[in-house]
Amino acid sequence: MDKLAEAGYWFIYISLELTVLFLVITFLLGIIRTYLTPERARRALQRYGRGSLGNMLGAAVGGLLPFCSCSTIPMLVGLLGAGVPFGIAMSFLIASPIGVFNLVVITLFTTMFGAGVAVTYIVATFLSAVIAGIVLERLGLSSQVRELAVPSEGCCCEGDSETTGSATDKWERVKPVLAQSWRFAWGLYRSMLPYLIGGVAIGAIIHGFVPGGFFLRYAGSDNPLAVPLAAALGVPMYVRTATMIPIASALVAKGVGLGTVMALIIGGSGASLPELALLSRLFKKRLFFAYIATIFIIASGIGFLFNFLSGWL
């Protein structure tokens, strides 16, 4: 009964905390999204996307905008069709699902693990997306893209992008933006709620009932195979980052290496099954498998980095 009470308390506390954080941060993202639309991002990348600075801009845009796989892939098609260099588009593609600068992801990381972990995650994933885009282009894989238009209808994370009015009063101009941002936040929260609650429930069970020694034996930071195995397991999984973070918090509390859970998060979010299904239509075989290998290498590398830095974070 004590374990059940502990798990129940953890579930309620974390669920309420994440709900408040998710709604507040996503509301702010909705305001940003009103002014930084995908079309503006596409024009910026088309205009300024040149050289390594272009890769940095591509990773920044992909990491900032709240895209999911059903909107990232059409955006990728639009970038390539608009003449954005292949490597820059790949930096965008890699950074987008990982949420390099996504305020929701960063806030959850900060809440669960601390600011040091969040900052390290931002720097490591951003640099990885930039370098990966440069490497994939230099490998000559740009010819491995099929000419294909992928529809963007029905995306779970799309919102109403209409802007309002010609009202002269400042409040009358701001009020519709706030209302639209709230609709975006609430709609995204409702679509994410089953995954968020599911992740918290699994974390509560781990927190309350699973002995710490069980995970410490097989997935502790001393096991050199734990990180690549977690990355390999994460790649075919459909893991939303917001779902995995509360599970990761419980796993770390039970002795799992921080790098191991980071590898699982990055592998799962960077190459989810819906995204891979869309990419299989857009990429030829060499590029398709190169992309999967890239996500695996990034997940493993960042995992080992976090294990190495765990004493300082």
Task: Report if pTM > 0.75.
Answer: no
Mean pLDDT of 241-254: 73
pLDDT tens, 275-284?
777 788 889 9
Q: Quick one: pLDDT band at residue 188, thresholds 50, 70, 90?
A: low
Q: 170 to each of 7, 138, 198, how far by Cα in Å?
A: 48, 49, 42
Phi, psi of 184 (to 5 degrees): -60, -45
3-state secondary structure of 70: helix
Q: What is the pLDDT of residue 153?
A: 41
Does 246 have pLDDT greater than 50? yes
Q: Please tell me which residue, 136 or 254, carries the higher pLDDT value.
A: 136
Q: What is the pLDDT of residue 296?
A: 92
**Amino acid type, 36:** L
pLDDT tens, 58-76?
888 888 765 555 567 767 8
Q: What is the pLDDT of residue 223?
A: 73
Q: Is 313 exposed, middle or buried (0-12, 13-18, 19+ CB in 10 A)?
A: middle
Mean pLDDT of 260-272: 82
Does 126 have pLDDT greater than 80? yes
Q: 66 to each of 147, 171, 191, 297, how far by Cα in Å?
A: 25, 26, 14, 24
> How much of the chain, in percent, has pLDDT values that exceed 70?
65
Kindly state the tokens that stand for 58.
């591509």
Q: What is the pLDDT of residue 283?
A: 92
pLDDT tens, 299-310?
999 999 998 888
Helices (H), the chain: 2-35, 38-48, 51-64, 69-81, 86-98, 103-113, 115-138, 170-209, 212-219, 226-234, 241-253, 258-270, 273-282, 285-309
Mean pLDDT of 217-222: 57
Kindly state the tokens that stand for 254.
């039970």
3-state secondary structure of 145: strand
pLDDT tens, 86-118?
999 999 999 987 777 777 778 778 887 888 998
